């Protein structure tokens, strides 16, 4: 049975509490691995929901907007949640204009670095803003910088305070245990997703599977399904043999 702690409601605002723990030994207080991980995980889920709902409202289209194949985590938002939280705290930003500008800058830096990391190490590109005005190498643009600013305000004043109160209701043992289990799930899903994407790229050059894993991936994650999971993913220019990762 999960032990639940009842905590009085705390006021919302830029209270990220990256200071020495108020209650020694509880994962949701102070600055520690478990709190940072939960911030990453919850930020990733929030990003997945935000992008999925936004796509549905704007285009009337459901798209799977997760970074991973099996679990609903948009990882760039998890990284962004940590970066914005640390940045706002370090800058002691409490007023809306300062949080908005900090979110624009921090979010754009995170987006640029994540895009560069993905292209360099995985050979894929998941977004391209080359057609947008005021873009930088197609990785970031002014329009989405404004989006990051708005998300920083929402995260700081609404989403994070809600998650913070929720996490403090769980016992320390439950919070730490669930964090370790979820971390293992994310690592396995990440490894599986990278393997599936690599096989997707390889199929465009050589469709013949050589291993049992490749045969399983070809059967259950063919090109058509991968194109639905990652509808905007393209191959990076440095990888040869494939022009696009579109379904045939």
Contacts 24+ apart (CB under 8 A), 189-194: 189/68, 189/69, 189/70, 189/71, 189/73, 190/68, 192/68, 192/69, 192/70, 193/67, 193/68, 193/69, 193/70, 194/122
pLDDT at 24: 57
pLDDT at 240: 52
pLDDT at 80: 96
For tokens 């691995």, the residue is 33
- What is the rounded CA–CA span in Å between residue 89 and residue 15? 8
pLDDT by residue, tens only, the chain of 248 residues: 445 454 444 444 445 655 544 555 789 888 789 999 999 999 999 999 999 999 999 889 899 999 999 999 999 999 999 999 999 888 877 889 999 999 999 999 999 999 999 999 988 999 999 999 999 999 999 999 999 999 999 999 999 999 999 999 999 999 999 999 999 999 999 999 999 999 998 888 777 888 999 999 999 999 999 999 999 998 887 665 444 444 33
Give backbone dihedrals phi and psi of 136, rounded to 5 degrees, phi first: -120, 105
pLDDT at 13: 47
pLDDT at 7: 44
pLDDT at 239: 62
Asked if 236 contacts 125 with a C-beta cutoff of 8 angstroms, the reply is yes
pLDDT at 88: 87
- What is the rounded CA–CA span in Å between residue 152 and residue 140? 16
Measured over all CA atoms, what is the biggest interatomic distance in the chain, rounded to whole angstroms?
A: 60
pLDDT at 113: 97
Which residue stretches of 64-171 are H helix?
A: 75-91, 96-122, 142-154, 160-167
pLDDT at 236: 81
What is this structure's pTM?
A: 0.85
Query: Which residues of 145-248 form beta strands (DSSP E)?
Result: 234-235
pLDDT at 6: 46
| Bridge partner list, 4 | 170
Asked if 28 contacts 35 with a C-beta cutoff of 8 angstroms, the reply is yes
pLDDT at 206: 76
């Amino acid at each position: 049975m999960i032990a639940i702690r009842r905590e009085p409601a705390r006021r919302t605002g830029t209270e990220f509490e990256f200071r020495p723990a108020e209650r020694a030994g509880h994962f949701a207080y102070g600055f520690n691995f478990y709190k940072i991980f939960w911030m990453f995980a919850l930020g990733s889920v929030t990003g997945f929901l935000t992008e999925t709902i936004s796509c549905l409202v704007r285009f009337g289209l459901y798209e799977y907007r997760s970074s991973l194949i099996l679990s609903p985590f948009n990882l760039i938002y998890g990284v962004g949640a940590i970066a914005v939280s640390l940045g706002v705290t370090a800058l002691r930003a409490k007023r809306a204009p300062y949080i908005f500008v900090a979110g624009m800058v921090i979010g754009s830096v995170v987006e640029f670095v994540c895009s560069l990391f993905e292209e360099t190490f995985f050979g894929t590109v998941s977004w391209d803003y080359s057609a947008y005005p005021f873009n930088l190498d197609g990785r970031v643009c002014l329009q989405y910088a404004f989006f990051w600013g708005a998300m920083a305000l929402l995260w700081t004043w609404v989403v994070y305070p809600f998650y913070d109160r929720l996490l403090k209701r769980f016992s320390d043992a439950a919070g730490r245990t669930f964090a370790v289990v979820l971390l293992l799930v994310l690592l396995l899903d990440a490894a599986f997703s990278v393997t599936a994407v690599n096989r997707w790229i390889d199929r465009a050059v050589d469709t013949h599977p050589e291993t049992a894993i490749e045969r399983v991936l070809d059967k259950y994650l063919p090109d058509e399904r991968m194109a639905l999971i990652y509808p905007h993913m393209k191959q990076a220019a440095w990888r040869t043999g494939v022009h696009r990762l579109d379904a045939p």
